[in-house]
Each structure stands twice: as C-alpha cells, then as structure tokens.
Amino acid sequence: MESTIFPTRTYVNGSYLHKFVGKSITLIATVLKIGGNEKSLTLQTTDNQVVKVNFQETVDSEIDSLVEVQGYVADKTTINGTYYINLPSTITHDFDKGNFDETVKFINNITNPFK
C-alpha cells in the first residue's frame, strides 16, 4: 500500500497571513465578491481583513456567505487557493467569529510539543 503525505495546514486569520508566505494554510472567511473571471474570491476574514484568493478552476457562483479556503499564502493579502468548502448559512448562522479568532491566536502562539 502506497502512503500519501499531506502538507500540514495551519488555521489562520488575516493578521497571520504574513507569517505563512509560501506555506499551506486554512482560512475561514465571508465572501464579499466573486471575481469577474469567476476564478477568484474577495473575502473578509474573521478579524476583518480583506484578502483575495485565486483559484485555477471556476468558483461556484452559489457560494453562501462563509467559506473555508485551503491554499498557499502568496503575500499578506493574497492566497493561491487549492480548495474551498462552502459553509452555508443554514449551518453557520451562529458562527462566532470572535471565538474563532481566539482559537486561531491560541493555535499560532503555543509551542507544538510534537516538533
């Protein structure tokens, strides 16, 4: 059986992007706009930063509010997206952005004992 190694992805918000340039991340954000070419999203992160995500494939025009984006950070405001998950408002209507940001801070500020 062949094994597959997946890149480690860290949950971030807009204020942590600059620390992860060239690295794989996961971001939860609100969709502000789908790009004219339908291959990009303009998002507002949970800490109110605006970022752009560029994809290779066309984005579904039925995206509803929140998305989880996986990709690689190009710079402090741009992500090269590899995948996204639509998080419909029917299941995220009570998503607490403040608690999510506190979790992101915790994840990014503790020492990983497994390294």
Whether 47 and 14 have beta carbons less than 8 Å apart is answered as yes
* pLDDT band at residue 111 under the 50/70/90 scheme: confident
**Average of per-residue pLDDT values in the chain:** 89
The pLDDT of residue 35 is 87
Whether 86 and 60 have beta carbons less than 8 Å apart is answered as yes
The pLDDT of residue 90 is 87
* pLDDT band at residue 55 under the 50/70/90 scheme: very high
Name the amino acid, one letter, at 31.
Answer: V
Q: Which CATH number applies to 10-107?
A: 2.40.50.140
Give the integer Cα–Cα distance in Å for 55 and 32.
16
For residues 36-58, give the mean pLDDT.
94
Segment among 11-15, 55-59, 108-112 with least mean pLDDT = 108-112
SS3 105: helix
